[in-house]
Structure 1
């Protein structure tokens, strides 16, 4: 086993891809796409501000204390996802021309757009994690068929070493498929956990703002804000 591992490691990467056939080229392309998606998602989530939230937490504390205008200024123009939803909820609540139902619908719309951006690209990772090992298995099956066809045509003159060489070359595609599928699956689970946490935080944030807005003091506060 160590000898086989060292042999595979010693092979040039390009030679391994060529030995694996056309399925190996597809799996290699999927690996490049997976890396590109992961890097793009990290950049996209960073721009979306999914790891932020300090401003929205402070705004929520100010809102709970009845300091409405200060809460609005805390999140106004902030780039993080939580701050944008908090700004939508607070802004529509403070606007006397917007009723409670419309305020909730507008906040839900902003939250849905934010969550869509947080989950964008995850379907592609899910697809790669599914089809990469299947492509690897397909390449192995096709390689085994070709190897046994050679064995059948050779008859009694079959060389066992040639057969073994054909089989391990075919198994390269299965290993490559798993090597692509495992990181893609791990990245998918991590990004989904980030999106799920963001969704829970947005729901909690909007609910706490609207619940506090429905308190008995809120109508007077809204009128004061309108003045």
Structure 2
């Protein structure tokens, strides 16, 4: 097993050497991209991206039934983005120092922060998608320059096989750059769709909570009318 691993490492090293510095840069980029994809999967799992929002739905049901305490109890200890937003909306509506507009602004502020947290790491994938093919193209161009330079130096004794080998080695970097960019683009598109669904669920939860919010203004005005009478 160790011998097979050593042989594989030697082959990979040989391929990286064929492509030159650009190929080594693509190799480093591929490792970083894979690590970023795996980290983002774990991050979204921890944020409850695929949990279905069962606790948030239960809390909203309790809130609509007129039981804010049960709603908050359902959300206690929950770290999913849906649950955190639902809790922020309920707490904001229960804050006597905030009117309805202030509660909506506070909920929107929390939502923006949660969505920014959900999008963490996506810029790195965008960068991988952009510079992977560029590094491949750079390696191809530098490889072609070296191949034609060797052909010029050989003069009339030039071997077409040598030129073909140089071009093959140069094109290898383009293929490697695309091999990094394509999976990164697929992962980026998928993660963005997950974040968009989270955003929709969070907006829906906030709308349901605010739609059934108690009207505090009449209740607050009643003591004032009684005192005036």
Q: What is the distance in 2 between the residues matched to 1:206 and 1:219?
A: 23
Uncovered stretches (5+) of structure 2, i.e. residues with no partner = 1-7, 223-229
The 3 A distance-change label for structure 1 pair 38 and 139 is: same
RMSD: 2.1
Match of 2:137 in 1: 137
Q: Which moved more, 1:34-43 or 1:20-29?
A: 34-43
Q: Distance in 1 between matches of 2:59 and 2:218?
A: 19
Residue 69 of structure 1 and its aligned partner are, at CA, apart by: 2.3
Q: Match of 1:77?
A: 77
Q: Distance in 1 between matches of 2:217 and 2:197?
A: 30
Tell me the CA shift for residue 219 of structure 1.
6.2
Of stretches 100-109 and 200-209 in structure 1, the one that deviates more from structure 2 is 100-109
Match of 1:165 in 2: 165
Superimposed CA distance per residue, residues 196-219 of structure 1 (whole angstroms, 9 cap, x where no aligned partner): 1111111111111111115x6996
Partner in structure 2 of residue 48 of structure 1: 47
Deviation string 1:100-142 (CA, Å, 9 cap, x unpaired) is: 1221122112211111111011111101101110110111111
- 1:48-197 paired onto structure 2 within 5 Å: 48-52=47-51, 53-197=53-197
Partner of 1:3: none
**TM-score normalised by structure 1 residue count:** 0.86
Find the counterpart in structure 2 of residue 39 from structure 1.
Answer: 38
Partner Cα distance (1:205, 1:185) in 2: 30
Residues 84 and 172 of structure 1, relative CA distance in 2, 3 Å threshold: same
Distance 1:30 1:135, change over 3 A: same
TM-score (norm 2): 0.85
**Partner Cα separation in structure 2 for residue 97 and residue 178 of structure 1:** 55
Distance in 1 of aligned mates of 2:117 and 2:41: 12
| Paired residues, number | 211
Please tell me whether residue 198 in structure 1 is matched to residue 210 in structure 2.
Answer: no
Larger deviation: 128-137 or 148-157?
148-157
Residues 38 and 218 of structure 1: CA distance in aligned 2, closer, same or farther (over 3 Å): farther
Q: Unmatched 5+ residue regions in structure 1?
A: 1-8
